[in-house]
Every structure is written in C-alpha cells, then in structure tokens.
Structure 1
C-alpha cells in the first residue's frame, strides 16, 4: 500500500463531518485523503516527543488549530496516529481538553519507509498500555520542550540543541549506551557505597554564535516523590540531587558528552515543596561539586505564563538567574 496516496480522492469531507466520528474508536470507513508533507511533519514530531496535545502539534508545525485538528482526525481514523485511551479517564468531565496523540503503527511504517529510524515499531501496543500518570508527566515535559522551541525559533543569537543532537555528537562509547543521557555515580552514606543513576526528563543545550554553549538537564517534579528519606537506597528527590552532584564531581558530564559543565533545571509544583528541596539540597556536602548552585528552580504554574529563557529562576543559593 502506498502511504503517499491513501485514496484517490482529495479532502472532500468537511471538518464538521470529521467531528462527528468517534473519538477513541477508528471509523470503519476512514475519511478519504492524501498524506501530505505537512502530515509527515506531524508524524515526525510525534516520533520525537511520543505524546503531544493537538495544541502542541499546531504550534510545532505552524498550522491553525482547526486545520491541525482536521488533519489529526483523518490521520487517526486511517491508523497513522493513535489517541491513547488513558484520556478516557478525564474526557467525560473535561471534554474540551486538547486531544492527546501518539505515533501509530502505520505512521511509524511510513517514516521508516522514508529512512527515519523508528526503533520501536509496536507503537499501538505501547500507546495502549501507557497509563494516565505517565502520559501526564510526559506532557509536562513536552510543555517545557515546546516552550523552548517557540522561544528560540527564528533567533539568530542562539540555537536550541535537541537531545538527539547531543547524543549524535557524543563520544562513541556514550552512543553505545542503553540510555546515553543517563548519569551514574557512586555515593557513600554510613560507610556504605551505593550506585545511583539519574535519568533526566529532558536534556538540551543552547548554542551561541561565538561557538560557546550552555547545557542543561531538566527534572519535571509533579510532587509525587518524597523530598527526603533516611534510607539512601530509597527513591527521593534528595537522592536525585545527590546523584547529580556526585556525577558532576566525578566529571561524568565531561566523559559522556564532552561538556565543561551543566546545570539542572527543576520545575516543581509550589513554594513549600521548593523550600523543602532547598533545605535538603543544603544538607548535601559533595566534595568537588558545584553544590547548591548546580540547581535552578522554577514553578510550573509560573512558567506557563512566560518562556524558560526570559523567566527568572532561583538557584540553590537563592540567587535570581536567567538561562541566558
């Protein structure tokens, strides 16, 4: 089957007709349409981000929301994109919320035919198994990433470096790792050594015309993890911060990415949780690490009304900081 021409008919069906089709069950008679280069761009964005709201997609591909929703509806009923069913948890009470989409199996095959690496082709199953908390966390990561895209688009004084570019430019031993963006370090507590791994929610860089760059790792905290625990082997946000500090002290960022340094951006829920994190951070004494200044803090609610670059962050010493 040729993906470029789904049907010999063009977009004859109106948007109002597409809106009457079922939301989470594919129509037995898909809407006739041609797959366009704009549709391929939508599929590429879903491959990069995994889950996207329709509003994200419209912003990323530069289309109106109405036009984007029309194309997404056609792509869904034809099998190119999925609508994760975990949305059913909240659609009955929040039916006006933007629909969430993921790359479908047919969409992955189309990209693969065009030479795009789609490592996991069993998209439909993994999208179906994704639960609501996981999807919501991924969407908050996407909110941040898309905000970065929009705030750097069209600028000549800086360029956004995406995670895939960071991996592609990393040493070969890093590229061979199962998760090239994860950092591992050893910590010592009560005379016991522990191996700690931290997996950032997002890794990005900012490149400047003089060749310099600033590198960041992002933690989107939804308030579900304890800030501190007495047992260092149990998960907590303090354990994460200890892992980042120790990894920096051991120069893991230099070995894995050839970075001189980096900062960790923490986006959290409220001021009380931020204060608890700062208190826990100031108790961590890691020799050869930057200490509290390694971390920048912001509230997710405040970031929604600004962009990450112009926003005033607070570092672990309570200094006001901007990313550039």
Structure 2
C-alpha cells in the first residue's frame, strides 16, 4: 500500500493540490497563507504538506538561498500521484494534464514566486470584496502564446511584449476591467531594453489601453522606472497613466485593491486600484468606469 492510500484526502488537501497546479508551483508559505491562516498554524501546515509530499501528491524542491546564507524556500508542484485526481477535477485526460504541466514550468523560480505573491494577494482581496464578484488570471505561459506585438516606426523595429500575468476583475453589474502585471525584480538594468518595453506598452495602448501594474523591489527602483516611463511618454506624446507602480513590500491582501499604494505616471502618486465604491479606479485606460478620488502626497 502506498502512502497516498494510508490517509484520507480532505477538501483542503484537494484545494492545496489544485492551487499548486493552477499557480504553476508555489512556495509552502503561499499554501500556509491560503489554507492555514490562523496564528500558530505553521506546524500543522508543514506537517500536512509533508504528508502530501510523502504520498507523492505534491513534489518538493528546496531552492538555493538568494543571499548565499542558509537555504531558500520550499517550492511545491503537483506530484505524480495527484494527476488522476486533477484530471478528474479539471475534466481532462492525464495526457492533456502532462502537456499543460510541461508548458508552464516556471523559470526563473524566484521571479515566479514573486508573481505568486501578487496573485495570492489579489485572490484573497477579491474573495473579501463586497463589490468584486470574480477574478480571472491568465498566466505568463499562456500570454506567451499570443504576445503583444507593436511596430515602432521611429526605431524601425517590432516590439514584442509578454506580461507576467493578466487579470480581469468582474463586478456585480456585469462590468469588468483588465490589468496587465509586470513583476520587476530589478535585474533588468539595460536602459535600452527597459525603454523599449515601456515604449511598446505606450504604443499598444493607442489602440487598446489597458493599465499595466508594475510591482518592483524598492522605492528607488520604482522612481527610476517612473522617470523612464514619463520620458518615453513625452517622446511619443502618449498618455502615461496606463502605468501604475508600487513595490513588492506594499502589496498585501489588505492593500492591493483598496489602499493608496499605486503611483500613476502622469497622475496621482498615491492611488487605490479600486475606488471608495469598490469599483476599479478610472484613468484614460479605464475610462468606462467610475472615477474615485486619488490620494495625493
């Protein structure tokens, strides 16, 4: 008898496995935040995850430390024993499941985990919202299938853009709003590449304006990117309010939607993603929605 047959799977176990799959892998801290949120739950969380790993329902991998001291986080993906369960849950064959799993193997992993941080905060915030009725997330691996392509006539080149995610907020009145997400780890230092990305989004927004949420590492990095975005906007004579910037440390389930953590380029330096009425805050990129008051510094 294998380990999977020696204990009964709970609804929470199935939800844990499902999250590990739909997130394309996540850390144990993400699972603790989502499924073991009460104080003192760290030990029960680690114990249960260890059992799921032992039963090969989850697969674990210890990442190297980013600082060179100690070890990194435990990265968890779907184990081989979980595939029949997931195939049944998702209504697909195991071969389809294996193909999908191979397509979205994340790399680099720390960038992927930072994207998971953002996505989890968003998911939890939307669940708690009284106005937002749903959120749909499109991951990077799926956006890669149909990247944004724009022609830069001044540079005589085609700019290809692949965001780290796209999500849609659904409201009770039937309206919805899309946002692109860029997780900036501060590793791209080539000014030409940075300007090209920002320029590409500005050009794309001329035909389909969608807010781009940039989440970066530090305030200094944020200010640098804001400066670059403003400069590209001036060169193109384009509306820069599509760019919303914040830092990773500012994003929590409590702040991501309703706290003034977002710096809108060419707009308020402190803006909520959703307004006082709970609806997405309007800029020219969200002009069909109700404008909420920005909070200026």
Q: TM-score range, shorter-chain basis? A: 0.7 to 0.9
Matched, 1:186 2:151: yes
Whether the 8 Å contact between 2:124 and 2:253 is mirrored in structure 1 is no
**Correspondent of 1:311 among 245, 259, 281:** 259
Structure 2, unpaired ranges of 5+ = 275-297
SS in 2 for 1:6: helix
**Inter-CA distance 315–178: structure 2 relative to 1 (3 Å threshold):** closer
Cα drift, residue 83 of structure 1: 1.1
In 2, are the aligned partners of 1:227 and 1:237 still within 8 Å (CA)? yes
What's the CA shift string for 1:197-239, capped at 9, x where partnerless?
211112112222222222211111011002522xxxxxx2221
TM-score (norm 2): 0.76
SS in 1 for 2:266: coil
After TM superposition, the structure 1 = structure 2 runs for residues 140-289 of structure 1, keeping only pairs within 5 Å, are 140-164=114-138, 179-180=145-146, 182-190=147-155, 192=156, 194-226=157-189, 228-229=191-192, 236-251=193-208, 261-285=209-233
> Alpha carbon RMSD of aligned pairs, Å?
3.5
Q: TM-score, normalised by structure 1?
A: 0.70
- Number of residues paired by the alignment? 266
SS at match of 1:298: strand
Question: Which consecutive residues of structure 1, in runs of 5 or more, have no partner in the other structure?
Answer: 8-31, 167-174, 230-235, 252-260
Q: 1:289 and 1:262, CA in 2 relative to 1: closer, same or farther beyond 3 A?
A: farther
Equivalent pair of 2:164/2:182 in contact (CA under 8 Å) = yes
Moved over 6 A (4+): 122-127, 286-289
Alpha-carbon distance in structure 2 between the residues aligned to 1:91 and 1:277: 25
Q: Which has the larger radius of gyration?
A: 1
More moved, 270-279 vs 197-206: 270-279
1:77 aligns with 2:54: yes
Q: How many angstroms does 1:50 deviate by? A: 1.5
Report the alpha carbon displacement of residue 51 of structure 1 after superposing the two structures with TM: 2.1
Q: Which of 273, 277, 290 matches 1:323? A: 273
Q: Counterpart of 1:111?
A: 86
> How far 1:116 sits from its partner (Å)?
4.0
Instruction: Go from structure 1 to structure 2 and tell me whether the alpha carbon gap of 1:122 and 1:105 turns closer, same or farther (over 3 Å shift).
Output: farther
Alpha-carbon distance in 2 for matches of 1:110, 1:130: 22
